[in-house]
Amino acid sequence: MKLDVLASDGNARRARLSLPHGLVETPAFMPVGTLGAVKGLSPVDLETAGASVMLSNLYHLSVRPGIEVIESLGGIHEFTGWRRPILTDSGGYQVFSLANLRHVGSEGVTFRNHLDGAELRLTPESVVESQERIGVDIAMALDECPPWPVSLEAATESLDRTHKWAIRSRQAWQEKDTTLFGIVQGSTFPDLRQRAAEELTQLDFGGYAIGGVSVGEPTRERRAVVEWTAPALPTGKPRYLMGVGTPMDIVHAVQHGIDLFDCVLPSRNARHGMLFTRKGLVRIKNARYRDDSRPVDEDCSCSVCQRVSRALLHHLVRSGELTGAVLATQHNVRFYLDFVAHLREAIASGTLTGFAASVAASYPDDSSFSESPATPGSTASKS
């Protein structure tokens, strides 16, 4: 993997990641295909929308269909039909979201999986090996994602465990085609975040992620974690903010030097009739759209906005028609991919401050439409 910084605007940077399955222009948004596909979208749909990298989840793929099956079918790219780069989360978020189905020990995590209760054991070594076996471009080290709120004592204990796992993950990494990222934890405690960043940097991972955010903490604290942590990460390696976000969360993080993002927000909110536009959120179920002939976003060039009216989407979503969710997802994913493309242009032209102000005007309270964090015990994925 190679990172080339092409332009900067303050701490924000426009860069290019060279990975085995293609180039990723950053800042980049990774659509979440937990099970190997974004719900409602084909690999061709993702390519057409402009996605350069997709995120999947190792825990879920290990449960079904299994690492052996994916490997026997030629690896994750052949299995999914997605030919561009793939990042897999390690399952660390499931340590949080499946709290009543797992046991965390010094060696790793033992789950009673959410499908049939069969035992699944994840260790730092097995997680790295599995991701290498299926041929992902970017692999995440096994970590423990603590809930919020959490005591300083519990957060420290969790961070100690995550650091020991990071050392073992780094030792297991073969450093061939798959790049391994370390994950900075530490909840909302500045000293812990600083310590974690320093310790991980010494291990010389291929890239670094900020994890353990967007798990219920207020927006102010979530953004403070980014402000503390991003400057402590190496400038020559990619930086990834996991599971975030809203348009303003992304702008804020980019302004502090973050390169990569993922979030279920565009696809999950689409299924609930919440559509992103350049002028703000459209709740398409509202009665006022029943006879609205305009496209969802008059400034959007996606195929949905070129062919489909708000009235039709209102009708389909209100009726529970599957096509409504698919069309809404197509639009939202395209919005996010266009959004980060505009961020790249703004950095390159030195106009990021003005772009950020326009986003803030369209989304003054973006916390009102963000997805709720998964309740421990749910099967949600928030890679």
Which are the catalytic amino acids? Answer: 89, 262
Helix H, strand E, coil C: the string for the chain is CEEEEEEEECCEEEEEEEECCEEEEECEEECECCCCCCCCCCHHHHHHHCCCCEEEEHHHHHHCCCHHHHHHCCCHHHHHCCCCCEEEECCHHHHHHCHHHEEECCCCEEEECCCCCCEEEECHHHHHHHHHHHCCCEEECCCCCCCCCCCHHHHHHHHHHHHHHHHHHHHHCCCCCCEEEEEECCCCCHHHHHHHHHHHHHHCCCEEEECCCCCCCCHHHHHHHHHHHHHHCCCCCCEEECCECCHHHHHHHHHCCCCEEECCHHHHHHHCCEEEECCEEEECCCHHHCCCCCCCCCCCCCHHHHHCCHHHHHHHHHCCCHHHHHHHHHHHHHHHHHHHHHHHHHHHHCCHHHHHHHHHHHCCCHHHHCCCCCCCCCCCCCC
Pairing of strands 280-283, 54-57: unpaired
Q: How far is it, in rounded angstroms, from Cα 148 to Cα 373?
A: 10
